[in-house]
Amino acid sequence: MSDWFILNGALLGFLLLQVLLVLWNSRELRRPKPRTWGAGAPLVSVLVPARNEEATITECLDSIVAQEYPNLEIIVLDDGSTDRTADIARTYADQGVAVISGVALSAGWTGKNLACHQLSREAKGDLLCFVDSDTVLEPGAISAAAGMLDDERAGLVSMMPRSSSTTMAGAMLLPMVTHALFALIPVAMVHRAKSAMLSLAFGPFMLFTREAYDAAGGHTADPGHIVDDVQLSRNTKKAGYRVRIANGTDLVATRWYDGVTGIWRGFSKNAYGALGYNPVVGATVAFVLAPLLVTPFVRLVIGAAGSGEVPEVVVWQCLLLVATRIMTAQLGRDAQWTSPFHAITVAFWGSTLARSMLLHARRESVVWKDRDVPTFPR
């Protein structure tokens, strides 16, 4: 029995299991049910950190003030913007939006962590809802998330957003976020395993109970951590509270990053941190899993361009990979036309993780929104 036969069989088996995992996760990663709240609804503080977001802040705030939830406090923190972000936000004062100015960045903090910490201190709500300033909510988003928080008796509910990128690069590359969640992560372990490392969240939308947020240490627990959302979810679980992630692609949309350069820089700075700076996991994903998932497409192209003969097992491997991507694109409301280019997406993301690990090893910082952002834990 040849090594190629064993490898082909093992990969085929893995890809079949991946299809089953997507089906399982589609049941575990539920869409929040609509919920109607009455006058006695707990106060939700919607907290929006913003730095140089004049291009997106209007759409974000329009969607927040249009929420169906009846008891909201809305606070925007202007984090030293040099554009019209603060001026635009202040035009919403008659719609109940308060705007505060952030303090100067302190040593040991990332800009977003410090901004969110200041927002949490200003907030009066029983529930704290952190929303990124490039994020747009459907009218029922907060009501549905608060309903899930209540039903699940959770300390944190975070909704996976759909990508609203309008660029070809965004359409092709950003669906990997959805694909990785559905096809590579057993979501049931995030929900039920006690290990804090088996936890995650999505920064564009995180809804905490005040009790859970404070017990987890809030943003002061790891003020210099570059992946604040994932770290907060770990600290929340560590503090003994349930963490629930939901498929919010019908309720929440976010820009993430635009263009190949923006996506490359954006995720290179935090990909390794999202894995907890675990060298074994990082190396396995970047140098074993990603190449393994690209190999069938490489063999298909080489075979078709060369002898014209492609082993049947390679064809099946490629079909399973594309079929899995089609399934996750459907679940995440991503563009289906990008599914045949899945190999490019996987290779790109494997490369961003490898670069993120390299930046961490060199203890380098990256410039993000005119600030030096560390790629290593402080």
Element (H, E) at 57: helix 57-65
Length of the chain: 378
The yes-or-no verdict on residue 124 having pLDDT over 60 is yes
Is the confidence at residue 305, as pLDDT, over 90?
no
Q: Which of 131-135, 275-279, 311-315, 367-371 has the highest average model confidence (pLDDT)?
A: 131-135
Q: How does DSSP classify residue 171?
A: H
Strand-pair category, 205-209 with 127-131: antiparallel
pLDDT in tens, 95-112: 999 999 999 988 889 899
Question: By three-state DSSP, how is residue 173 classified?
Answer: helix
Identify the pLDDT of residue 273: 87
Q: Is pLDDT at 5 greater than 80 in this prediction?
A: no
Instruction: Give the model's confidence band at 2: pLDDT under 50 very low, under 70 low, under 90 confident, else very high.
Output: low
274 CB contacts (<8 Å, ≥6 apart)? 200, 227, 230
Which DSSP letter does residue 288 get?
Answer: I
Percentage of residues in the chain having pLDDT higher than 90: 74
Contact 205, 135 (CB under 8 A): yes
Residue type, 139: P
Classified as helix, coil or strand, 35 is: coil
- Write out the two tokens for 307: 């002898």
Contacts of 215 (CB under 8 A, 6+ apart): 155, 236, 239, 240, 241
Ranges of H-type helices in 66-155 = 85-90, 111-122, 141-151
Q: How far apart are CA 321 and CA 270, in angstroms?
A: 26
What is the rounded CA–CA span in Å between residue 231 and residue 222?
Answer: 8
Specify the residue for token string 């008659």: 94
Vertex 78, ends 75 and 83: CA angle to 5°? 135
Q: What is the DSSP string of 12-27?
A: HHHHHHHHHHHHHHHH
Cβ partners under 8 Å of residue 155, min gap 6: 208, 209, 211, 212, 213, 215, 216, 236, 239, 241, 242, 243
pLDDT digits (tens, 9 = 90+) for 128-159: 999 999 999 999 999 999 999 999 999 999 99
Distances (CA, A) of 296 to 237, 286, 300: 38, 17, 6
Residue with tokens 């005119």: 370
pLDDT at 7 over 80: no
C-beta neighbour count of 35 within 10 angstroms: 19
pLDDT bin (cut points 50, 70, 90) of residue 17 is very high
Q: Cα(227)–Cα(374) distance, rounded to whole angstroms?
A: 11
Q: Domain residue spans in the chain?
A: 3-26+275-373, 31-161+202-256
pLDDT of res. 378: 58
**Tokens encoding 139:** 């009218």
Q: Average pLDDT, whole number, for the chain?
A: 92
Cα-trace Rg, the chain: 21
Q: What is the phi/psi pair of residue 215, to 5°?
A: -65, -30
pLDDT at 3 over 60: no
For the segment 174-194, the average pLDDT, to the nearest whole number, is 92
Q: Provide the CATH topology of domain 31-161+202-256.
A: Spore Coat Polysaccharide Biosynthesis Protein SpsA; Chain A (3.90.550)
